[in-house]
Amino acid sequence: MPFCGACGAPSETSAPCPACGFDPAPLPVRTLTFRCEAQGFPLLVLCLKTLLLSILTLGIYSFWGRTEIKRYLHHETFAGEDRFAWHGTPRELLIGWLKGMAILIVFYGIFFALTLTGSEWVRVGAVVFLYFGILGLVPLIIVGSQRYRLSRTSLRGIRFSSTARLGEFYKLYFKGIGLTLVTFGFYSPYFANNLYAYLTRNSKYGDENFAYDGKGGELLGSYIAAIFLLLPTLYTIMFWYLARQTRHFYNHTTFQQARFECTIRGRQILWLMLSNAFLIVITLGIYYPWAIIRAARLAARTVRLCGYFDLDKVRQRIDSQATATGEEIGAVLDVDADIGGAFGL
């Protein structure tokens, strides 16, 4: 009697194991490509509508407008022939914003109360408190945004989710901050790699986990070269390093038995940044929707998933606990929660 290669239970050699479900039949090698088909004029209309109604409603409509824009961009982004979908609601953003503002009011209230005491040392302490207080919000913003964005995104009717824990991320984050300071910045590649690794390994599509096997040391040589070439290249070398880091992150990310592949280059990011900035300025901001779409199209067309995967086997798993609080605090403080996932664009 043959045995299952996964659990060792008696099983037919060409059929799924009745004990663990392992299927010995090899999956076909596949390639999943991504693309964005959003158009500039529909997005411009949504942006202008959001701006106008937000002014008329003293900012309240911005939550509805941002939701419409996100829904449109997701709907026009494809994985193969399947569209992504956005399930977030304006009410979630509004509640998240209210919670975020309450947290910030407490922080700034304590800060101003301390600065009004008249003592020089207390004022210095107030500045330190405010700095470290805001710094301490960054992990909350990153983890909260990750959990919210993934839980409200679906593909083929299946939601993404995150199991990242704030306490674990705080330890990882402040350990990285400390080591980066004592190594005069040279721990930065390890720090960025560790954050990305943690968030990726705690990301799921349905009931299937993403995995990551990259090492920060593989980026160290490129990082050192970029630091020494900052001035000679007038800082443009950082676009090359950003592309190198992004390729590293994606190329070490796996799903089922497939691996992502990224082909982004520094010159592509540099040209995108410069041309978008120029066109936004000369059009007095009208070009902004097209700039967003160009960035999304570059991100999509330079990434693909190759290997053995079967999306039909993925089952639903919904994270109903995720809220928009971290997302909205990040919006108020202008803190970007993305860590390498969209080329920093």
pLDDT in tens, 272-322: 999 999 999 999 999 999 999 999 999 999 999 999 999 999 998 765 566
The pLDDT tens digits along the chain (345 residues) read: 455 545 556 655 556 666 666 565 556 678 999 999 999 999 999 999 999 999 999 999 999 999 999 999 999 999 999 999 999 999 999 988 888 888 888 888 888 888 887 678 888 888 888 888 888 888 988 998 899 999 999 999 999 999 999 899 999 999 999 999 999 999 999 999 999 999 999 999 999 999 999 999 999 999 999 999 999 999 999 999 999 999 999 999 999 999 999 999 999 999 999 999 999 999 999 999 999 999 999 999 999 999 999 999 999 876 556 666 666 666 665 566 565 554 333
291: closest CA among 38, 85, 84, 75? 38
Torsional sign, CA 178, 340, 85, 332: positive
Query: Structure pTM?
Result: 0.85
Structure token digits, residue 242? 């950003």
Phi–psi pair at 89, nearest 5 degrees? -125, 155
Q: How far is CA 228 from CA 63, 144, 224, 233, in A?
A: 44, 35, 6, 10
Q: How many other C-beta atoms lie within 10 A of the C-beta of residue 248?
A: 22
Pairing mode of beta strands 253-255, 203-205: unpaired
Q: Which residues make Cβ contacts (< 8 Å) with residue 193, sequence separation at least 6?
A: 214, 215, 216, 219, 248, 249
Cβ–Cβ < 8 Å for 345, 187: no
DSSP 146-164: HHHHHHTEEETTEEEEE--
Q: What's the rounded Cα separation, in Å, for the pair 294 and 98?
A: 32
User: What tokens appear for 27 in the block?
Assistant: 């999956």
Integer-rounded Cα Rg, in Å, for the chain is 23
pLDDT of residue 130: 82
Q: What is the DSSP string of 285-321?
A: TTTHHHHHHHHHHHHHHTEEEEEE--GGG------TT
Spatial separation of the C-alpha atoms in residues 164 and 176, rounded to whole Å:
17
Which residue type sits at 273? M
Q: Are 329 and 98 in contact (CB under 8 A)?
A: no
Q: What is the dihedral of CA 195, 337, 42, 270, to 10 degrees?
A: -70
Q: Residue holding tokens 């790699």?
A: 193
**Long-range pairs for 228-231 at CB < 8 Å and ≥24 separation?**
none
Q: H-helix or E-strand containing 335? A: none
H runs (alpha helix) in 152-236: 166-182, 188-201, 217-228
- Neighbour count for residue 97 (Cβ, 10 Å): 20
Q: What is the largest CA-CA distance in the chain?
A: 85
Spatial separation of the C-alpha atoms in residues 219 and 205, rounded to whole Å: 28
For residues 288 and 48, give the distance between their C-alpha atoms in angstroms, rounded to a whole number. Answer: 11
